[in-house]
Structures are given as C-alpha cells and as structure tokens.
Structure 1
Amino acid sequence: MLSRNFSSLAVIMGVLAAPAAMAEQKWSDASVTYLNGNKYEVGDDSRQVMTFEHASGHDWGTTFFFMDYLMSDNGTKEHYFELSPRLSLNYLTKGKLVPEGHFIKDVYLSGTMEGGGKATNYLGGVGVSLDVPKFKYFNVDLYQANNGGGKDNDQQATVTWALPFQIGSAEFLYDGFLDASTKADDHAAETNFTSQLKWNMGKQLFHTKKPVYVGFEYAHWKNKFGIDGVTEKNPSFLLKAHF
C-alpha cells in the first residue's frame, strides 16, 4: 500500500509540473525574508531564518516554492523547503467547470513536496481558490500525505490567504497559512497557524516599485512535529523585500 501511495503521489506531482514547459505565464513574484525569534520549540529557542520565496501564475495553474535557512544561536544550521504546484481544472475544461464570477474561482489538483534533512514528504489532493471580498487570494487545499522518515501517513488541510489594507497612505498586508493534519499511531494531530502583519515601508519611505515590508510574524504551532503537548508560540521580527 505504501509503495502504491508513493507512486500515485509521484504521478500527481509529475502531471502538475509537466505543463510548465509550455505555460503562458501571467504573473510572478519573488522575495527574501529575514526573521528573528526567540520562542521556538524543539531545539534551540532562538533562531534567525532567511527565506527565499517564488510564486507564479500560469494559464494552467500556479506554482509556489520556498526555502528556509535556519541559524540557531547554538550554532545549529538547518534548511527546509516546499514546492507546491496546482493544476487548474477550469483550464483543463476550457472554463466550463466554474462559471465566471462564482464564489469558487477555480478548482485544482494540488501537490506538495516538502523536506529538510533526511525526510521528504509528498502530498497530493484537491484545492479551491475562493473569491472572498477584500482578500488578494484565499485558497483551501485538502491533501493525502505520504510521509518520509518512517512517519505514518496522515491527511492535511491547508488554508492560505492575503488581506491588503490601508491606514491613511500607509499600505499593510496581513497574510499567512493554517496547516491542520490528522493524528496517526506515531504522532499527534498538528495545527500550525502562522501569519504575518507588515507595513510596506519601501513604498512610503523610499518610493520603491516592489514592496519592502517590515513587521512581525506570529506562529502558533500545536503539537509541533506531531509531538503531543509541545506547542510553539513564537513572535518574530520580520523584514521582507520583493523583487
């Protein structure tokens, strides 16, 4: 059963990635983020994190990639990455699946590959993009996870959002994600709610074309890494530049 699940997820990832070779790109964005927090759980409590992110939209769907490089005060260095392509079913049906102007903007086949160190996880499932007033985007994905490193498989729901707003001439962005995964024999159910509140100081102070944000991130991660009773409540200083 494990090998069949792995093969199915690998096929999904391949199908999702294949259209990129002949894609019409509609938009793309890249950024680098610096975080500094001292309330981490599991390992050293004080860490600095450098994150590279790239997202793009195509006629066939979307891609999102990020890589974290974590540096702990005790000298430990780690990395973690995720690659998440989504294939639009509206694209495959030539716009017939979801009517224009509907609350559900699109339905996707979703995949994610995530890893760091020795373990790599593969997730496959379905997702929707919702038209929520005032939000730049609001996405919901449901996954079956094939976990590496000997960890039992589980299911995961992921919500991502971005809410821009203004106070006077100042531009702000509140965005983030919620990951909720089910329990299994060898780990507890997890909930990771991480969000960022940031001010576009680049536009207001330096008149940059791309946003340069300053603000903070707050992570509330219940049963971190599936460890029952370990809950991380970590605020971090944030500096983020888009290019």
Structure 2
Amino acid sequence: MPRLARSTAALALIAAACTAQAADWSDTSLSYRYGTRFAEPYNDQDITKNIVNLSHVSGYKYGKNFFSVDLLMSSELDPSAAGSNSGAHEAYVVYRNTLDLGKVTGNNYAFGPVRGVGATVGFDFNSKTDAGYNSKKRMVVAGPTLMMDVPGFLDISLMALWESNAPYNTYTNQATPRYAYRTHPMLTAAWGIPFTLGIPLSFEGYANFIAAKGSNEFGGGTAPETNIDMQIMYDISETLGTPKNTFKVGIEYQYWKNKFGNPDRTVPGATARTPMVRAEYHF
C-alpha cells in the first residue's frame, strides 16, 4: 500500500477520534466493497477492485461533519506502472462540514418538504499510482444545502468546485505542472433512508451532477459528469446478537458517466456501470 494511503488512514482515525470527543452524536464505520466491472478512462477493460473505507459522521451544536477515506486496490488490468503485473492503488479522501443555519441563528428555516437550510464547505483529494495518469486531485467545495424532512436524512446541495490536478505519466516520465480547471457547479445529494420489508433495510448513497470544467490540462475539452452510487443495506446486527446498526451487508451499484470529465463518446472506459457487494462494521 502506498505511503500516502497509510498516512491518510492514520489521519482519518485521528480526525474521527478527535471529532467524536466534541460531538453530540457520531457514527464511525469500516466497510469493504468488491466489484469486477469498474472502469477507468483510456482503458477498455473491466477492472476488479477491492475497496476498504473508513467513514466518520458526527453532529455538533451548529451542524455536522463527514469524513471518508477510500483505499482502492485494482487488479492488474489497471496496472500500477508501465509494464507492471501489479494493480494500481489509490487513496481518495472527502471532507464536508455543514452548518445548520437554524441552529446558528436560532431561527426556523423549515418550509414545505425542507426541514432546514445549511451551508456546506469541504474538500476532496486523491493520490493514485497507476501506469498512465497518476492523479493528484485537489478540490475545494462550497455552497448552500437543503436538509429534507424524511426518515433518516436527505441533503441536497448546490456547490461551486475549485479543482486542480498535477498528473505524472510513467510511460513518458513527464510531469504536468498543477493545472486549475474552470470553476464549475455541482448539484449533489446524499441520503440514508431506513425502511423495512420484514427485515431492517436502508437505502443509502449519493448522486453528483457536475458541469463541464473547461479545458483539461492537455488542452482537450471536458464533459459534464453524472455519478450515482447507491446501495440497499440489511442490518444483520440482531441476528449476530449485537446492537442495532452495528453490522450491515448489502448490494451496491455505481453509474458514472464521463468519469473525471472525460467524454465517453471519444474516450474508452469513461463510463462505468459497476455492481458491487458491500459489508460494514459501525462503532
């Protein structure tokens, strides 16, 4: 596992622990998911990936925090370097902080199906070791959030994205100076809604609709992205004799069109349709 992935995992644990100390409530989870039909731009192969995730969500006096780190391990069809027989490794980190404006001001901003109004800021960053691009994404996000009045939660945000990258091509040994894309918007939703069909289930996931971000670092055009990742999870905690929401298993599906802004009409592997299995431990 790359050094950055190990460091990121350690930082995630520290951040989760520190946040929990000041939180009114919190949920930390370790999860594993597996699929055989992942896609990567400029690669026309179906790629197998094993993904380990650490996530932490917590609520405090004025809002909530969300932190997540994925460690993605690809099969050899997404090689770690030119001519390598080993698969690529990637660390992808997401952080979001949402201020609940009603809690901050003491006013009630509920209307219609909306429970509250917030303001969200955060960042994404990644590091990947692979044969071609070696992504080093850095992105800051900010925008308003509507918190919908549903069982569980449904948050809908309109975010401005400030994104840059500084890839390194191992085929040509050429580094690209950090390049900032055009500021662009994203309409995003995240949800976790419990329901029952004789057994305790939940519908969870996120959906991102991202506008084109201008020219890429090589002068080519970019395309708008659609990234929908959703899962049905079964709470098996009672069967195992543990507290509710401790262990979950389920199925997951991701649809990602024009991945990273690469237009799928010209770039092979730019759209993914990926079924997965998933297991979670919450503590």
TM-score, normalised via structure 1 length: 0.84
What is the match of residue 9 of structure 1?
A: none
Q: Establish whether residue 158 from structure 1 lines up as the match of residue 188 from structure 2.
A: yes
Q: Which consecutive residues of structure 1, in runs of 5 or more, have no partner in the other structure?
A: 1-19
Instruction: Tell me the CA shift for residue 171 of structure 1.
Output: 0.8
Alpha-carbon distance in structure 1 between the residues aligned to 2:22 and 2:247 = 28
Alpha-carbon distance in structure 2 between the residues aligned to 1:69 and 1:237 = 16
Once the two structures are aligned, what percentage of the paired residues are identical?
25
Alpha-carbon distance in structure 2 between the residues aligned to 1:184 and 1:120 = 14
Q: 1:53 aligns with which of 52, 55, 58?
A: 55
Q: Establish whether residue 242 from structure 1 lines up as the match of residue 258 from structure 2.
A: no
What is the match of residue 14 of structure 1?
A: none
User: Counterpart amino acid of 1:40?
Assistant: F
After the TM superposition, which residues 5-154 of structure 1 pair with which residues of structure 2 at under 5 Å, given as runs? 25-42=23-40, 45-74=47-76, 75-94=87-106, 96-99=107-110, 103-117=113-127, 118-132=136-150, 135-149=151-165, 150=179, 151-154=181-184
What root-mean-square deviation, in Å, do the aligned CA atoms of Structure 1 and Structure 2 show?
1.9
| Aligned pairs, number | 217
Q: Which consecutive residues of structure 2, in runs of 5 or more, have no partner in the other structure?
A: 1-17, 77-86, 128-135, 166-178, 216-221, 265-269
User: Counterpart amino acid of 2:156?
Assistant: V
Instruction: Tell me the CA shift for residue 59 of structure 1.
Output: 1.5
Q: 1:212 aligns with which of 234, 242, 247?
A: 247
Q: 1:154 to 1:82 in 2, by over 3 A?
A: same
Whether the 8 Å CA contact 1:171–1:199 is kept in 2: the answer is: yes
Alpha-carbon distance in structure 2 between the residues aligned to 1:166 and 1:207 = 19
Question: What SS does structure 2 have at the residue aligned with 1:57?
Answer: strand
Instruction: Tell me the CA shift for residue 158 of structure 1.
Output: 0.8
Question: What SS does structure 1 have at the residue aligned with 2:102?
Answer: helix
What is the match of residue 11 of structure 1?
A: none
Q: For 1:159-200, what per-residue CA distance to the aligned partner results, in whole angstroms no more than 9, with x for missing partners? A: 1111211122x2111111000111132211001010011111
